[in-house]
Structure formats: C-alpha cells, structure tokens
Structure 1
Amino acid sequence: MPYLYQAPGLQGHPVPGDAHSTHSSNQSFEQLRQECLWKGVLFEDPDFLANSSSLFFSERPQIPFVWKRPGIKIVENPEFILGGATRTDICQGGLGDCWLLAAIASLTLNEKALARVIPQDQGFGPGYARIFHFQFWQHSEWLDVVIDDRLPTFRDRLIFLHSADNEFWSTLLEKAYAKLNGSYEALKGGSAIEAMEDFTGGVTETFTTKEAPVNFYEILEKALKRGSLVGCSIDTRTAAESEARTPFGLIKGHAYSVTGIDQVNFCGQKVELRRVRNPWGQVEWNGPWSALHLWLTPFLLFMGHTVQSNLILKDESKSFSLTFISSEWRAVDPAEQQCLCHTTLDDGEFWMAFRDFKAHLDKVEICNLNLSQQELLNRDSPRFIRITPGAEEEVDSTKLHNHQMVLGHKCTAVPLEMPNTFWTNPQIKLSLTEKDDGQEGCTFRVALMQKDRRKLKRFGASMLTIGYANYQCPGKEEHLNKDLFKYHASQARSKTFINLREVSDRFKLPPGEYTLIPSTFEPHQEADFCLRIFSEKKAITQDLDGDVDIDLPEIPKPTAPGQETEEEKQFRALFERVAREDMEVTAEELEYVLNAVLQKKKDIKFKKLSLVSCKNIISLMDTSGNGKLEFDEFKVFWGRLRAWTSLFLQCDADRSGTMSSYELRTVLRAAGFQLNNHLLQLIVLRYANEELQLGFDDFLNCLVQLENASRVFQALSTKNKLFIHLNINEFIILTMNI
C-alpha cells in the first residue's frame, strides 16, 4: 500500500494551540487577551515596540512615522477580514517586500493553509483587546506570533502593506512576519518561495521556464488545483535592472503570484492561459490577452476623445479610466470570459498566453503543501513520504533531521579541492531499500535550509552559499573519512551551490547505502541548518554524527617493587629525583619536569605548558584525592602522554607546533573518544585559535578534560551506562574537578 504524507498542521482544520507560543511572557494569545480584558487595558507588545527599532536597523526613517491603531485616525470602522481574505486585498506599500506579498496572494488561494496562518479567533468585534496573532512554520515547528495593532503611518495613512478597503488582516500579517524576522527592514528583498514555506511548512521546487519539462503546463495546472503556492519572476543581471519595466509592462526582479491556469476557445482553437498578479495592485502585462489601462482627465475627453467599442469608460471622480480590451479577448465569448473571472479592473491581475508566460518570465517557484503533491512534479512518483530517523519509526513521522554546522566544521563542498575539510561536515546515512513502483531506481528529495539568516541581517549576516553531495558508502555505520572523498565521486549532488535560504532537488538512485553531506561552499562559515529528506518509498536514515561512545584503556594495577622491569626501575629513579623526599609530585613540580623533558624532544615544537594544564593533569590522575601524583599515578600519566604526543605529531606534519581542528575527529577517535558534531564544535570553540589550530598545550588540555569527564561519568553510571543522577553538591564537585 502506498505511503501517504501531509504536512503537519494541514490535515483538516488547524488545531488551536498546537503552535508554540513565542511571547516573552510565556503566555498564549488567549491568556494575554483575557488578561487585557480583565484589566481593561489595550495590549502593547513589549517584544516588538512601536518605535524605530522595529522599523529599521541600518537606516534612519526618511519621514516621521507615527504608530496608530485602526479606528484611531486611520479608518472609522476597521474590519479584520471583510468578505473573505482574497488576493485583491493586498496592496504593496513603501517596503521592498513584493516577494512576501506575492506569497500572501498565493496563500489566499488555499483556505486550509490560510486558516492555519490566520487563526479565526480574532477580530475587531466582541473581545477586541487590540491583540492579534498569526502562525508561521519555522524549521520543523509552528510558532504563534502575538502582536498589538499599532501600525506605522504617515499623515494618517498606512506606510506599508495595506488593503484598498478597511481590512487589516494583511497589514497585521505583515507586522507579525516583520516581528518574526526582527524588523520591517529585514523583509526587504527576498524570494516568494521563502514566505511560502513559512506559511505552510511545504517543500519547494524551482523551474526555469526556458528549461521547463515538456509537461510544464500540466505541472502548474495540477499544482494550483491541489492548493500549492506558486510564484514567478524575471531575473535581473545587474542592480540597475531591479524593478525596471519591460516593453510589455512586466517588472524585472519583481515577485508575481500565479493565481490561475486555464484554456480558452480562440478562433476555433484552445489557447493555454496563465493568470498572474502583481502585488502592487496595479501595473499589468500589456501584451496579448491583456487589458491596457489609461487614466485621462475630463479635459481630455472634453477636447474630443471618443470612447470606441473596444474601450470601457469608468468615472473615478476627478479622472477617467480608459481600458483598452485586447483583440484576443474581444474574440472570446462573454460567458467564457466570466467563467475565467476575466476583469477589466486595474487591480494588478492579468492573463497571459502560456507561450508568452514562458518567453517573458524566467523562474517559477512551487511550494507543495503535502507530499502527495509531488505527483504533480514527477509523473513517475505518485506519492512521497517523509523519511524517519530510524527503521522502527512510523512512515508519517514529522521529525526532521536538524544539523548545526558551526565554526570549525563547515567547509567547502568541493572535495577534490578541499578533501581535508569537506569530510568533517555532518553526515547522514541514507538507506534506499525499496524501488519505485514499476521503476528500477529509488526517488527521493533533499531540502537544505539556512536558519534565521534574515533575522540576523541586523548583525551583518547574509545568505551563505550552500549545497550538498551524496556518496555511495561502504555500508559501515560510521563517519566517512577523507580518504574516501579523494578517490570516489558523488552519486548525486545539488544542481548548484547558491546563496538562497534553501537548496532543494529531487534524485533517483539505485537501491543501496548512501551518505548525504550538506555543507557551505566557503570554509569556516557559521550558520544553523535544517535538513529535510523525503522519499517515494520507505527509506531509513541514520545520523552518523549523533552517537557518543568512549573506549578508554583500563588503568593498570601497580607493579610490586620486586617485580619491576629494568625500564620501570629507571622510571622510578626519575620519579624519585622529581618528587624528592615526600615521593609525591605537585602541580608546580609537574610543570617543571614536563617542560624540561618535552623541550629536549626535537620532533615537537610547543610553547611552555601552563600550570593550569598540570593542575588538570593531577585532577585526572589523582585517585587518592590529595592534589598530588604518587608514583603509580605518575607512571600511568606518562604512558598517556607518550601516546598523546604521538597522535599530535601525526597531525603536525609541518612541525609548526599546531594541528588543524579538522583532524580532531580522527585523533580523538584514536584516543578512545567517538564524539558527535555538537561536542566536536564545542571543543573547537574552546581550544582552537582564530585560525582553527590547536597548540600542544591546548591539545593536551582537551584530552585530559575529556578523559577526566569520561572516567567520572563511568564511575557514577554503574546501573545505567547512559545516565547519572547527581544532587547539587555532587554536581558542583564534579564540575569543579573537570
């Protein structure tokens, strides 16, 4: 039986309260509203203040903004939603967020998705406390964003997104989205597909119209019928082309919504049409199947301009709108025009022939709200399911793979150029065991998303160039080492490494074991990522970086003095010279002897070991608890030191006295520590320098601390090897010792 999948939150009607509250008070929307009603006060959001910090972060306002509430000098009788939320309610203001408005327009075409984003338990009627809330999908979970209704205005008019009527749902939605991303300015510039995902949690696909598949018309037709969100745009080659108008009235670099698709009878033939909407609410296509609008003053009409049969005349008080109906529409039966919802209004929405659509628009973006809609995009794959983290999970699990690629473990994605760093990225084992129905291969989709980059704009962050590669693995359930990438090519990879929020591609590979590796293009870049994997048939994934395992050597038992070997006798003599009469070594004495011995070694270059390092060593080896090393403790440590020094020298090939942090995984595993990516990243942040290098002293401290923590844990986890239980006294003692 095929496996079905629906995006979380879109099955049937939304469930109130299933989104995570984001307000700083930890109160839900309803709790905050009831508190305001009980106190008789108007809600004011302390998390998104009505001041310039919520507007801009890199510029000063050019005009004096005044924050006002609906019904107070904006309009007399505000409405939240009047006659249903539709795409014609949306008019762009003075903010460059056409991409967001295009996504909102597409959202209005799907009632279930719209009801999820805009909860229906609010308005300007009974229970109105000037508080509203909206819900957005963010990296595997739904968030509930609460706002007040104070809006930026100038001369009593809204500055940003607004409606032609007294509706405020779209204006307040824009404010909630601005709060989610830190400010209104953070919404400048973007791709409609980004907001579409935030409105639905769907999975996206991008088409280039010039390279679209043969069945592109059917793809778009079924996508719109199933409720997918669809946008389109014209690429720009230079910054000067942004918002430049083409001879046919289209705007370059501007985000449009695809709101309809149909066929019309024209001169005895069927013509394929696309309906497109400009979020500006005006400025339309003036080519075939268009309606050209001209605004004339009464004086021009008085001077003899006549209205012909192909013109429609409308009075707008002080001017007149002349709409020139294209010859194509005049040849279409009026009933069919009405069926296609063709209007002559200058509302930014227009029809285009499919051939013109492909010729004049460059990119089409589709956001599928549930994976059964992948059928629209791949005729050979009727259904998709989401891969679960393990074989025993249910196939409709909503769990996602989330990976953090942090400083020291993000590197170029071109393994032939940087094999020494690429292999340190997160690795996810993908087991493709079931072929597609009637096919030889297994179809799956990978979507890699950068997290919170728009929110971090105020701190100078920008979109990183990201991608991923998929390699056939030898079947071992362990992190692949760099040697494999030197001699093996990837089996599949993202089409390009690009600075978009998400890179998403579909692949078909033979059944087998694969390892998926996401990465940035440039080395040493810091960001959080959300990785989602979907497949047509059931598949199994395993995070190769998620397990932690410690395999330390047994501490040898003391050797009786009469049974010591000649080497042990010589070592005892050395210890007696260092320890003197009390036969115990202090931290200061250990510092002296270690520096004296190590500086005589010609094969290792290092700066002087610190007293702190020696105190850490004693903390690890001191079994008696007197703060000093006795002979047997010193002997065990000396064996450790020789082994650790050998590991360090293997990574310090140029004898510079440092090793690359990228070698840590291999070195630590050789020392008995199998750590996940998160722990490795913490170690890098703590012990590596700005060049991501570790000196011998840092390396020694790292191993001492790791072994100390591991041995304490092993001693305390006698009943259950995965957990320990500590009271506050034990916890403080433990942390102070480590």
Structure 2
Amino acid sequence: MPYLYRDSKPRPPALPGAAHPTHSSGKAYEELRQECLRRGVLFEDPDFPACNSSLFFSEKPPIPFIWKRPGDIVKDPKFILGGATRTDICQGDLGDCWLLAAIASLTLNEKTLARVVPLDQNFGPGYAGIFHFQFWQHNEWLDVVIDDQLPTFKGRLVFLHSAEHNEFWSALLEKAYAKLNGSYEALKGGSTIEAMEDFTGGVGEMYEVKKAPDNFYEILEKALKRCSLVCCSINIISAAESEAKTPFGLIKGHAYSVTGIDEVSYRGRQVRLIRIRNPWGQVEWNGPWSDNSLEWRSVSPSEQRRLSQAALDDGEFWMKYEDFKVHFDKVEICNLTPDALEDSTAHKWEVTIHQGSWVRGSTAGGCRNFLETFWTNPQIKLRLTEKDDGQDNCTFIAALMQKDRRKLKKLGAEMLTIGYSIYENPGRDGHLGKDFFRYHPSKARSKTYINLREVSDRFKLPPGDYILVPTTFEPHQEADFCLRIFSEKKAITEDLDENVAIDLPEPLNPTPSPQETEEEKQFRALFEQIAGKVSTKPLWVINIKFKNLSLISCRNIISLMDTSGNGKLEFSEFKVFWEKMKKWINIFLQFDFDKSGSMSSYELRSALKAAGYQLNNYLLQLIVLRYSDEQFQIEFDDFLNCLIRLENASRVFQALSVKNKEFINLNISEV
C-alpha cells in the first residue's frame, strides 16, 4: 500500500495558540480573507473544490448535490447561535457518528472548543466566504481554511447540520475535517477517541469497565487532576436500544462526561463517589447518591458544600463508584498534552514523540511471529528514571499511531493492523539483531494488534532501560507512524538507530609481489588470455557461480580500481580488486541462506555491516529502494554495485574531509 514520504527532519511543532497554515498558497487565513475583501470576491478553495471529488472517491454521489453558501440557504446565517451546544450537532447522510460524538464532547470544554473553532469569524462585517479550523496532526497543530460552500439537496444541508437552520459552525467544522482527510467519504467509520485526539492533541485510552484494572479508580482520579477529557457510556446491543432509558434514569448509547471523583465520610466510613454529567438534557441517575437521595441526609453540610452538591448543573449527578462499574460499560480518556492545559494545572503528563516509517524491504518487519524480519523494525530506546510518587514502578502510556490512512483511502489504503512490544535493554548501543529477539522474551506488549488508527496501552514497569519495537502485524506493509510516550515522571527516549560509520582497510597499492602465488599465476594466465589489459567490455564474461555481471557492474569496477584514469585495469589493479571480490562473495554467500543467488533485503543491514558499512535506517531505506526487486531480494550483481558505489563515495569523502569532520564543502567542479 502507498504511504506518504516525510522528511526525516520534520518541522518543529507549533507553539501553544499557534498553528501551521496548510493552504497550498502558503498564506494564512487572515491574509487570504483580507485579499478577498480587497478584491471584492468570496473565497473559493482550490485545494478542496466544490465538486464531486471532494465528496466521494469510490462512487458517484447518490443524489445530485448542489453546493451553496449559507447566505444562499437562509436569509440570516449565523456562525454560532447562542453558544455551541450538543443540539448544534445533527447527523446527516454520512456514516460519521463517531465524529459527531467527539464534536458533542468538544462543546463541554470551552477552552478546547475555542482552539478548534476559532471565534474570530462570522457572517457579519468582514465576511469573505472563508472560515478556518484548527486540528492536531502528528505533533503539530494545523490551521485548515475552507470556503463556505456546502453540499445541499433541495435547499437543505446533506451532511452534519444544526437543529437551528441558520447556524453553520458544525457543518463548516465537518467540511474542514473532511478536507484534512481528503474527502467526505474518508470520514465513514471511525472511533470517537480518534477525533478527540485530533481536537486536543491528546492520547486516548479505552477501558471496558467490567474488565478494568484494580487501580481504575486511581487512574480516573489522576486523569481528572490532569484535566483529561473523560467520557463513559452504556453499550447497546441493537439499534432499538439507542436512546433507551434504564430503570435508574440512565440513557443507553449516550456519551456521558465524568466531571469529578472524590470520597465522602458516610456513617463512619469513606465512600468513593464519581460525578457524571449527561450533556443531552436533564434526565439523570435516580439511584443511591442521586440529587435528592436519602444518603445525603447522613452527610455533614460542610461535606456537601465541599462537593458542591447543591450547585450541580442540570444533568449532573453523583453516584457510588461501585454502582458506576455496574451500570456503565465503557470509559474513554483523552489525556491532554501540557500545551493544551492551563498553566495552573498542577499535574501534567511528560510527553515525548517519535516519527518513523515502516518501509518494505528494510524496516517493515512485521510482528514477532516473523522472527526473520521482526528485528529490522524501528527500535526506540525508553529510559524510565524516576518512580511514581509513593510507588515502586513507573507509569507510562505508549500510543502508536499510523499516519494519514484516511487521506490515503482514495489510493486503496486501509487501516493496517498495528501493535508493539517492549523489551528490557541489554545495555548495548545500536540496532538490536535477530538473535537478541530469538532468545529474549518481551517485558510488555500492546494488549492486541488491531486495525485502528492508534493503539495505546498503560504500563507500570520498574525504573530502567527498555526497547520499544513498533510494528505492523504482517511484514512488508508500508506506513508512516507516530509513537507517543506519556509518562508520570520524565522519561528519556531516543531512536535506537545506528550511527553512520565506515570501517574500511586502507587501499592497497597495486604493486607487483616478488613471488607469485599459485592463485596469482592462474589469474595472470586468465588475464593474458583475455587481453593485455582488462577493459569493461570483456570483464563481464567472468562467471563466479552467479549470473553474469552486468555491463554497469563492470564499468563500476573499473571506476573503483582504475588508478591511472585510462578506463582499463592493469594486472596489479585487478589483483587488488580480486581480494575485495572474494571478501564480498563470502559475505553474500553468508546471507544467501537458501543458496539461490539472492539474499533478502532485510539482511542487507547485517551484510553491509560485515563489509564495513554501518548505516542508519534512512540510508538503508534508500539503498533498499534502489537495489532490491519487488520480492525484496537482492542479487549478487546489485549487491556488488551497492558496495562499489559505497566505497567510491567513502573514498571521495575521506579525500575531501578535513580533520575527519562529518561534513565537507564541494565546489561545482568537485560535484
């Protein structure tokens, strides 16, 4: 499957409150708006035009859509009318209810909503048909501009819309999110936590309440102290159960918000309580510890004031933690990054982020089931240095996200099945080899391999050094990925990649030896049989158990060994080359495990290291793309060309390097 190539050195993340412009012109929202006002025109977005390609990529629209601006739909359009609430979010004819649920949760947090939906825009003075929204994508905030042309049928919006027919913020937000992902169709199917992460930059966790860990109460308590967004819900078995009300006043299929957690002194013992908010209305819990339940009569007035019992919002209620576990089925936590929190927030996550790629033939090794290639996956070193407060272990969340899969749907890409394993670091630097993983079990791993955009799990491990290996389930699957580590205390992470290093013997001077060996006599006879000097034309006929060398290989050999610059090899030069050739043949045979005359490209890292070249993932990926075939095999001719090109480049660099510096300056003639 295709993947989006990304620079190995991505741009720095935007500062809090800032976002990178994404329009193809390079201009930001305000600049584009002012430009339209000066010209007296309404903005039309060439990056996401009002046509069928922005709607669907796999089918024709089922009905004839007409793109209209809000002013052409109603007489008095408003961006936000009376505040952004859940009633502004009504689903249309697109299967993106997961997105709608996330937008509904977004309306519960004014600060987060204002980040995603900037309030500096409306249909009043200064209107130019342009709006903008901000989304988090892979460690950076992006500012997405759109024009306000929306798909309609018979004068009504087809997709997301507000219950108020003249309010358009939610429909425009959906359009901006569709643009971010390539089309409206790309939004079909997903999970609420995926959109919540794009709205906040946070990392999501999902818990089945009935299977939650023993310390789940403490997890919720810490999440709320960090201002994480916490939602809970009751599962539905069939569509008929949607909106169904339980005997205790809870609504199935609705997303509730968890707004508080505390303990109260009740009849001489401590009772754990959890505060829930129903954003859909005034229907609420009527069981123990509900607003007017008998339990509150046994709680002191001071305790009631501390818990703000008398000042709860409509739809907000307390319930016993044990009852919560009985009646609710799922909890989703979106842990916010420090830049999304107020400066006064006392408890914040420590966050580190790594960008990487799985590339076929070099770093797409698949899961541990495929030992022969598993070790070639990217490896990230994780150092846990400080225990949690009052604990013996270190808590962290590891979240592995595959990038841009929705955007690539139109090219046939699907969500890959992904996961990761965590190993104890043996104390060695550099990429760990196959034998390490053959003989060492993992210390921890993701709960499952699954085809979601992100896989995240929480771990508690002793302080120490670990290796995290992110993988697809199957080998040879390509994608870019983003790995985030959220830790209670500061953790140190780095790519466990090789430093580029070259260990070549000093080049031998082709001088005649005083007495020829038997091997040299045989080669002199061969040399004299071919010609007085070896040129590129006849050299390819020398067949050494492999397919004939290509003419390009012969030319490269001459280029490497021809010290006189006449395009031919003297016998003494040929002798030096033959010593290299024997070494390279032996290396190739060592990694040609089935003796087929070709070796797996996944073994190239080890083969090149045996030849004196230690390469990082980036260089290895480029070489594999250049020299391997569609079956990820490298024949000897290609292996030989690769080594010759590497040695030539190394010799040139060493000749131009001053005092063994890592960089050289070249003038045009040297290039």
TM-score (norm 2): 0.85
| Cα distance change of structure 1 residues 372 and 470 upon mapping to structure 2, 3 Å threshold | farther
Matched residue pairs, number?
636
1:325 matched to which residue of 2? none
Q: Is this contact kept in 2: 1:10–1:116, CA < 8 A?
A: no
1:639 matched to which residue of 2? 579
Residues in 2 aligned to 1:464 and 1:271: alpha-carbon distance in whole angstroms = 40
| Cα distance change of structure 1 residues 264 and 156 upon mapping to structure 2, 3 Å threshold | farther
Q: Is this contact kept in 2: 1:242–1:253, CA < 8 A?
A: no
Query: 2:599 matched to 1:648?
Result: no
Residues in 1 aligned to 2:396 and 2:590: alpha-carbon distance in whole angstroms = 40
Query: 2:225 matched to 1:230?
Result: no
Instruction: Report Cα offsets for 1:680-732 as digits up to 9, x if no partner.
Output: 2222222222221222222222222222233233333335632233345543x
1:378 matched to which residue of 2? none
1:341 matched to which residue of 2? 313
2:337 matched to which residue of 1? 370
**1:510 is matched by which residue type in structure 2?**
P
Alignment of 1:79-118 (within 5 A): 79-118=78-117
Secondary structure of 1:146's partner? strand
| Cα distance change of structure 1 residues 171 and 246 upon mapping to structure 2, 3 Å threshold | closer
Alignment of 1:284-295 (within 5 A): 289=286
1:153 matched to which residue of 2? 152
Residues in 2 aligned to 1:154 and 1:49: alpha-carbon distance in whole angstroms = 18
Instruction: Report Cα offsets for 1:7-30 as digits up to 9, x if no partner.
Output: 97796xx2xxx3221111111112
1:667 matched to which residue of 2? 607
1:4 matched to which residue of 2? none
**1:248 is matched by which residue type in structure 2?**
A
Secondary structure of 1:455's partner? coil
Residues in 2 aligned to 1:707 and 1:68: alpha-carbon distance in whole angstroms = 62
Residues in 2 aligned to 1:330 and 1:511: alpha-carbon distance in whole angstroms = 48
| Cα distance change of structure 1 residues 507 and 276 upon mapping to structure 2, 3 Å threshold | same
Query: 2:464 matched to 1:512?
Result: yes
| Cα distance change of structure 1 residues 234 and 721 upon mapping to structure 2, 3 Å threshold | farther
**1:212 is matched by which residue type in structure 2?**
A
2:9 matched to which residue of 1? none
1:312 matched to which residue of 2? none
Q: 2:241 aligns with which of 240, 245, 255?
A: 245
Give the C-alpha shift of residue 106 in structure 1: 1.7
**2:366 is matched by which residue type in structure 1?**
T
Moved more, 43-52 or 106-115: 106-115
Give the C-alpha shift of residue 386 in structure 1: 2.6
1:163 matched to which residue of 2? 162
2:526 matched to which residue of 1? 574
**2:42 is matched by which residue type in structure 1?**
L
Residues in 2 aligned to 1:510 and 1:352: alpha-carbon distance in whole angstroms = 35
| Cα distance change of structure 1 residues 66 and 719 upon mapping to structure 2, 3 Å threshold | farther
1:186 matched to which residue of 2? 186
2:41 matched to which residue of 1? 41
Residues in 1 aligned to 2:14 and 2:155: alpha-carbon distance in whole angstroms = 38
Residues in 1 aligned to 2:118 and 2:15: alpha-carbon distance in whole angstroms = 13
| Cα distance change of structure 1 residues 270 and 355 upon mapping to structure 2, 3 Å threshold | closer
Moved more, 675-684 or 254-263: 254-263
Secondary structure of 1:147's partner? strand
Q: Is this contact kept in 2: 1:109–1:227, CA < 8 A?
A: no
1:586 matched to which residue of 2? 535
2:28 matched to which residue of 1? 28
Q: 1:385 aligns with which of 350, 356, 373?
A: 350
Residues in 1 aligned to 2:154 and 2:317: alpha-carbon distance in whole angstroms = 32
Give the C-alpha shift of residue 642 in structure 1: 0.7
| Cα distance change of structure 1 residues 171 and 217 upon mapping to structure 2, 3 Å threshold | farther
Give the C-alpha shift of residue 429 in structure 1: 1.9
Q: Is this contact kept in 2: 1:272–1:354, CA < 8 A?
A: yes
Residues in 1 aligned to 2:252 and 2:584: alpha-carbon distance in whole angstroms = 57
Query: 2:609 matched to 1:682?
Result: no
Query: 2:386 matched to 1:434?
Result: yes
Moved more, 349-358 or 514-523: 349-358
Q: Is this contact kept in 2: 1:242–1:254, CA < 8 A?
A: no
Query: 2:552 matched to 1:615?
Result: no
Query: 2:367 matched to 1:413?
Result: yes
Q: Is this contact kept in 2: 1:372–1:382, CA < 8 A?
A: no
Q: Is this contact kept in 2: 1:234–1:363, CA < 8 A?
A: yes
Q: Is this contact kept in 1: 2:291–2:318, CA < 8 A?
A: no
| Cα distance change of structure 1 residues 9 and 670 upon mapping to structure 2, 3 Å threshold | closer
Alignment of 1:457-468 (within 5 A): 457-468=409-420
| Cα distance change of structure 1 residues 60 and 355 upon mapping to structure 2, 3 Å threshold | farther
Residues in 2 aligned to 1:264 and 1:154: alpha-carbon distance in whole angstroms = 54
Residues in 1 aligned to 2:317 and 2:51: alpha-carbon distance in whole angstroms = 38
Residues in 2 aligned to 1:351 and 1:53: alpha-carbon distance in whole angstroms = 49
| Cα distance change of structure 1 residues 66 and 356 upon mapping to structure 2, 3 Å threshold | farther
**2:277 is matched by which residue type in structure 1?**
R
Q: Is this contact kept in 2: 1:132–1:147, CA < 8 A?
A: yes
1:64 matched to which residue of 2? 64
**1:591 is matched by which residue type in structure 2?**
W
Q: Is this contact kept in 2: 1:103–1:231, CA < 8 A?
A: no
Give the C-alpha shift of residue 525 in structure 1: 1.0
Instruction: Report Cα offsets for 1:62-88 as digits up to 9, x if no partner.
Output: 22211100111x221111123332333
Query: 2:668 matched to 1:725?
Result: no
1:392 matched to which residue of 2? none
- What's the % identity of the aligned pairs? 66
Q: 1:531 aligns with which of 456, 460, 483?
A: 483
Residues in 1 aligned to 2:235 and 2:366: alpha-carbon distance in whole angstroms = 27
Q: 1:456 aligns with which of 393, 398, 408?
A: 408
Secondary structure of 1:78's partner? coil
**2:557 is matched by which residue type in structure 1?**
I
Give the C-alpha shift of residue 207 in structure 1: 1.1
| Cα distance change of structure 1 residues 472 and 403 upon mapping to structure 2, 3 Å threshold | same
Residues in 2 aligned to 1:514 and 1:145: alpha-carbon distance in whole angstroms = 38
**1:364 is matched by which residue type in structure 2?**
V
Query: 2:207 matched to 1:207?
Result: yes
Instruction: Report Cα offsets for 1:469-526 as digits up to 9, x if no partner.
Output: 1112221111111111111111121122121111112222223222111111111111
Secondary structure of 1:575's partner? helix
Give the C-alpha shift of residue 36 in structure 1: 0.9
Residues in 1 aligned to 2:509 and 2:67: alpha-carbon distance in whole angstroms = 76
Give the C-alpha shift of residue 636 in structure 1: 2.3
Residues in 2 aligned to 1:362 and 1:663: alpha-carbon distance in whole angstroms = 47
* Gaps in structure 2 of 5+ consecutive residues: 1-11, 297-303
Secondary structure of 1:669's partner? helix
Give the C-alpha shift of residue 634 in structure 1: 2.1
Q: Is this contact kept in 1: 2:225–2:347, CA < 8 A?
A: no
1:54 matched to which residue of 2? 54
Q: Is this contact kept in 1: 2:243–2:251, CA < 8 A?
A: no
TM-score (norm 1): 0.78
Residues in 2 aligned to 1:28 and 1:449: alpha-carbon distance in whole angstroms = 28
Q: Is this contact kept in 2: 1:8–1:201, CA < 8 A?
A: no
| Cα distance change of structure 1 residues 490 and 371 upon mapping to structure 2, 3 Å threshold | farther
1:522 matched to which residue of 2? 474
Instruction: Report Cα offsets for 1:346-401 as digits up to 9, x if no partner.
Output: xxx99999777645653221111136999xxxxxx9654234xxxxxxxxxxxx21
Give the C-alpha shift of residue 164 in structure 1: 1.8
| Cα distance change of structure 1 residues 26 and 270 upon mapping to structure 2, 3 Å threshold | closer
Residues in 2 aligned to 1:373 and 1:144: alpha-carbon distance in whole angstroms = 16
Give the C-alpha shift of residue 341 in structure 1: 3.4
Secondary structure of 2:649's partner? helix
| Cα distance change of structure 1 residues 213 and 517 upon mapping to structure 2, 3 Å threshold | closer
**1:622 is matched by which residue type in structure 2?**
D
Q: Is this contact kept in 2: 1:276–1:351, CA < 8 A?
A: no
